[in-house]
């Protein structure tokens, strides 16, 4: 009824009635942060405190936001008459723990692309501390990027004990949390749970290899568990290449608050007089059409605004890690470069083991830190290899792990104080290595110089794989003498300083972010990296799950997927099909493969080059989850909805499940006709399946699965 009789006058009248009965504060003012479909609404109350009133679907009539009931205070601080977890907690020099933040002003301005940035300034009038809250809204992508800044206007330092990037409030019937945890070789495994009263935390204390066990992202469903196409889903992620924490707290009134930011664990930070602390960005999207739409929102945003060269192409490659491990010489590498060429790949990538002379890198026990080519293995250096690649017409990429050091290295002999490690007790080694102390500017310069030096002496290096195999261990900084608790934060800031300088000098060079598999995957790092290594586990069955997990947050072009020898029981065709769903590469010794297999791979590279634009730029639809354990299917549709690629896998099908599981496609135009072909078959022969309307393919579907284990079709 309201809809039909709606008029602004009526709304004003209704609002005035509510005001008169005390529903709304007299001087309340709404701050509306809108995307095309989502609104985050804040209200400045008459006491100048700022509350959240809405986060969800954008309302049709903006003045109805004034009718919304008040939720929690926008960024609750310690000692604020509030009984649950605060977002901020600062102590001043007099030991005063209380901070009460009140509205001062807000501004709205245009930001990158079509986005608008709203900045709200709050201040504590008793203590000279202020907070600025930033909300950048990307209309088309329906993504909001938020962070906070803490400003110390006091004459003395303050200690930041909690300094969240964001606090969001929800009011729903129920809350379901999906998290993406795991381990080495089991990254981004999905678990779901219904949130009960109290707190649930997802966090990391690992420092460098920060998300070895838990990924810095989550999916929250409101009211009921969202599926791919239905329900309210929030995908959120922190852009921080270090310790993070998400706290989900449900209270006695069934309200939920979500606090996201740097993990305050062992990270109390002194903010000097006049200084500002900038927190990392929390990036989120809301969808009322299920998780599929939420992922597509993030993918679109990431390609356009965040990932390095997000809209550009990606290189197919041959990597030698599993083909040789540490055991290679110049000839072997030059042969592999020729194999990359004959396969039609864009690049050869030389992995670990190419450096160290006094302490040669022949295993993982020595050499890290000594980035000079090993004279025995590579007597003519890297330059001879980049020249060989140039001659063949393929690009050359190089593995580095510049943040790390083996105790058995010349670098350690020269700079024992550059490591993060205590000096007065036995040290613990993760993969026989230690982490260099990037909070120290001297170490930052050293790391920068390593990469810069390599690119100066070998300007034909066209790509880096930047690895990071150890978490921060033996937590003691020889540099942060007074403030050991700054280390976790300053390390990450130091890393960004190095990466900023490298990006400024070499803005174009693509880089793979790697951390003993997918131990570092976040949207701040991806400003500097074009892609990431999702996992050392390349068993294609496990990869179906791992890539499915990461696909919730990251676009396919950022997810490196290689064909290797892992799980010899699975056909090569199945492995290649799995890798084709991401940024495809190979890590095989082709000279040892039967000719038919090598020929199949060659054709596969050709086929991939023919449709990779759809994978890289298109919309992703997760059709059937691998967690069914019977089948899984994923499809990508190009922007014009003219071309699509569908990947269908039989995992462990039960009797008769293939017939009953007709695969319904998504994202097509119902009234258009589509020609369906099966491609990338092992026999090299494409099969014309038929021509169907988009309507038919989406409503009735097609036969894409079989009853045979570990088969696949594209």
Rule CB under 6 A: which residues touch ligand DGJ? 321, 351-352, 399, 467, 469, 514, 516-517, 533, 536
Q: How far is the CB of 549 from ligand DGJ (least distance, A)?
A: 17
- Contact yes or no for 356/387 (Cβ under 8 A): no
Residue with tokens 């690119």: 455
Q: Partners of 137 in the beta sheet? A: 116, 144
Structure tokens at 109: 């301005």
Please count the residues of the chain. Answer: 714
Please name the residues in contact with 92: beta carbons below 8 A apart, sequence gap of 6 or more: 127, 129, 154, 156, 158
**Can you tell me which residue has the tokens 């590469």?**
585
Q: 520 or 631: whose CB is closer to ligand DGJ?
A: 520
Shortest CB 542 distance to ligand DGJ, Å: 14
Catalytic residue among 370, 437, 536, 539: 536
DSSP 8-state code for residue 112: S
Specify the DSSP class assigned to residue 399. E
Determine the Cα–Cα distance for residues 79 and 126; give it in Å rounded to an integer. Answer: 13
Q: How far is the CB of 353 from ligand DGJ (least distance, A)?
A: 8
The two three-digit tokens of residue 570, written as one number: 């699975």
Instruction: Kindly tell me which of 321 and 488 has the beta carbon lying closer to ligand DGJ.
Output: 321
C-beta closer to ligand DGJ: residue 293 or 520:
520
Whichever of 153 and 589 has its CB closer to ligand DGJ, that residue is 589
CA-to-CA distance for 429 and 185, rounded, in angstroms? 20
CB 648 within 8 Å of CB 704: yes
- Cβ atoms of 290 and 230 within 8 Å: the answer is yes
Which residues, other chains included, contact 135 with Cβ-Cβ below 8 Å and sequence gap of 6+?
33, 40, 117, 118, 119, 120, 144, 145, 146
321 backbone dihedrals φ, ψ, rounded to 5°: -55, -55
- 45 among known catalytic residues: no
User: Which residue in 351, 437, 467, 577 is the catalytic one?
Assistant: 467
Residue nearest to ligand DGJ (CB): 352
CA 297 to chain centre: 14
Phi first, then psi, for residue 503 (nearest 5°) are -65, -35
**Cβ–Cβ under 8 Å, residues 199 and 177:** no
Residue whose CB is less far from ligand DGJ, 52 or 316: 316
Q: In terms of Cα–Cα distance, which of 106, 218, 118, 237 is closest to 526?
A: 237
CB of 261 to ligand DGJ, least distance (A): 28
- Which C-beta is closer to ligand DGJ: that of 258 or that of 512? 512
Residue 233 C-beta: closest distance to ligand DGJ, Å: 31
In the complex, least distance from residue 535 CB atom to ligand DGJ, rounded to whole angstroms: 8
- Rounded (10°) angle between helices 595-617 and 330-343: 70
- Whichever of 332 and 493 has its CB closer to ligand DGJ, that residue is 332
Nearer to ligand DGJ, 45 or 352 (CB): 352
Distant-in-sequence, close-in-space partners of 7: CB < 8 Å, separation ≥ 6: none
Closest approach of ligand DGJ to the CB of residue 704, in Å: 32
**Is the CB of 186 or the CB of 702 nearer to ligand DGJ?**
186
Least separation in angstroms between CB 587 and ligand DGJ: 8
Decide if 7 contacts 27 (C-beta within 8 A). Answer: no
Residue 157, judged by CB atoms within 10 A of its CB (0-12, 13-18, 19+), counts as middle
Q: Give the pairing of strands 559-563 and 531-533.
A: parallel
Given its phi and psi angles, is residue 622 left (phi above 0), alpha (psi -120 to 50 degrees) or beta?
Answer: beta
CA 585, 591, 597 angle in degrees (round to 5)?
65
| Residue whose CB is less far from ligand DGJ, 119 or 185 | 185
Q: Which is nearer to ligand DGJ, 279 or 470 (CB)?
A: 470
Query: From CA 258, how far away is CA 539, in angstroms rounded?
Result: 36
CB of 533 to ligand DGJ, least distance (A): 6
Neighbours of 276 (CB within 10 A): 12
Token pair for residue 693? Answer: 């309307």
The three-state DSSP-derived secondary structure of 248-296 is: EEECCCCEEEEEEEECCCCCCEEECCCCEEECCEEEEEEECEHHHHHHH
CB of 512 to ligand DGJ, least distance (A): 9
Smallest separation (angstroms) from ligand DGJ to the CB of 560: 9
Virtual torsion, Cα 522, 527, 530, 533, nearest 10 deg? -20
Please confirm, yes or no, whether 587 is among the known catalytic residues. no
Residue 693's CB: how many other CB atoms inside 10 A? 16
Shortest distance in whole angstroms from residue 24 CB to ligand DGJ: 56
Alpha-carbon gap, residue 45 to 31, rounded angstroms: 11
Q: Contact, 350 vs 335, CB < 8 A?
A: no
Tokens 């934060």 belong to residue: 489
Q: Return the structure tokens found at 330.
A: 């110049």
Contact 669, 627 (CB under 8 A): no
* Tokens representing residue 264 in the block: 């305050």
Q: Measured from the CB atom, is 404 or 620 closer to ligand DGJ?
A: 404
Neighbours of 153 (CB within 10 A): 15
CB nearer to ligand DGJ: give 339 or 536. 536
Q: Which residues are catalytic?
A: 467, 536
């Amino acid at each position: 009824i309201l809809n039909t009789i709606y008029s602004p006058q009526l709304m004003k009248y209704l609002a005035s009635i509510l005001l008169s009965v005390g529903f709304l504060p007299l001087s309340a003012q709404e701050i509306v942060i809108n995307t095309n479909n989502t609104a985050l609404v804040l209200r400045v109350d008459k006491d100048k405190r700022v509350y959240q009133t809405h986060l969800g679907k954008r309302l049709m009539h903006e003045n109805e936001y004034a009718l919304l009931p008040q939720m929690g205070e926008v960024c609750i601080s310690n000692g604020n008459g509030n009984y649950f977890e605060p977002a901020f907690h600062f102590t001043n020099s007099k030991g005063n723990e209380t901070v009460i933040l009140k509205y001062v002003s807000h501004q709205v301005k245009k930001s990158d692309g079509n986005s608008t940035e709203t900045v709200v300034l709050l201040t504590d009038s008793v203590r000279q501390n202020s907070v600025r809250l930033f909300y950048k809204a990307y209309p088309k992508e329906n993504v909001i990027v938020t962070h906070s800044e803490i400003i110390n206007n006091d004459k003395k330092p303050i200690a930041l004990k909690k300094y969240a990037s964001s606090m969001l409030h929800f009011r729903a019937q129920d809350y379901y949390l999906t998290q993406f945890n795991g381990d080495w070789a089991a990254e981004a495994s999905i678990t779901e749970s219904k949130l009960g009263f109290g707190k649930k935390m997802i966090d990391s204390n690992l420092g460098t290899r920060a998300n070895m066990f838990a990924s810095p992202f989550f999916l929250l469903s409101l009211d009921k568990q969202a599926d791919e196409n239905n329900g309210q889903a929030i995908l959120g992620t922190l852009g921080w290449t270090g310790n993070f924490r998400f706290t989900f707290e449900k209270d006695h009134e069934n309200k939920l608050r979500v606090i996201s930011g740097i993990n305050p664990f062992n990270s109390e930070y002194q903010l000097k007089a006049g200084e500002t602390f900038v927190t990392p960005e929390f990036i989120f999207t809301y969808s009322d059409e299920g998780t599929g739409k939420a992922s597509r929102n993030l993918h679109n945003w990431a390609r356009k605004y965040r990932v390095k060269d997000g809209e550009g192409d990606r290189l197919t490659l041959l990597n030698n890690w599993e083909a040789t491990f540490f055991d290679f010489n110049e000839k072997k590498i030059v042969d592999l470069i020729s194999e990359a060429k004959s396969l039609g790949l864009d690049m050869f990538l030389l992995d670990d083991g190419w450096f160290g002379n006094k302490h040669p890198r022949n295993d993982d026990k020595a050499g890290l830190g000594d980035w000079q080519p090993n004279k025995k293995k590579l007597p003519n250096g890297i330059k001879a290899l980049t020249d060989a690649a140039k001659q063949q017409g393929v690009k050359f990429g190089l593995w580095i792990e510049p943040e790390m050091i083996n105790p058995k290295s010349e670098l350690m002999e020269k700079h024992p104080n550059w490591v993060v490690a205590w000096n007065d007790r036995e040290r613990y080694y993760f993969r026989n290595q230690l982490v260099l102390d990037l909070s120290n500017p001297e170490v930052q310069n050293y790391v920068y110089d390593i990469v810069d030096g390599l690119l100066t002496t070998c300007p034909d290096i066209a790509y880096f794989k930047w690895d990071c195999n150890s978490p921060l261990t033996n937590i003691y900084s020889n540099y942060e003498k007074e403030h050991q608790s700054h280390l976790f934060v300053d390390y990450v800031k130091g890393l960004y300083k190095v990466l900023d300088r490298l990006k400024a000098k070499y803005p174009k060079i693509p880089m793979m972010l790697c951390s003993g598999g997918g131990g570092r995957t976040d949207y701040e790092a991806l400003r500097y990296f074009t892609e990431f290594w999702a996992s050392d586990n390349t068993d294609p069955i496990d990869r179906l799950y791992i890539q499915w997990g990461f696909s919730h947050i990251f676009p396919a072009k950022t997810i490196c997927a290689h064909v290797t020898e892992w799980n010899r029981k699975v056909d090569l065709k199945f492995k290649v099909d799995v890798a084709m769903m991401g940024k495809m590469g190979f890590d095989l010794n082709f000279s040892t493969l039967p000719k038919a297999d090598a020929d199949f791979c060659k054709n596969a590279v050709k086929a991939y080059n023919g449709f990779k634009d759809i994978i890289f730029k298109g919309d992703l639809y997760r059709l059937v989850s691998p967690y069914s354990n019977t089948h899984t299917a994923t499809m990508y549709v190009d922007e014009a909805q003219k071309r699509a690629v569908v990947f269908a896998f039989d995992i462990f099908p039960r009797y008769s499940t293939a017939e009953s599981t007709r695969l319904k496609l998504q994202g097509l135009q119902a009234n258009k006709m589509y020609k369906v072909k099966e491609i990338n078959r092992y026999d090299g022969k494409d099969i014309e399946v038929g021509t169907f309307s988009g309507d038919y393919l989406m409503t009735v579907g097609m036969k894409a699965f079989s009853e045979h284990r570990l088969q696949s079709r594209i």
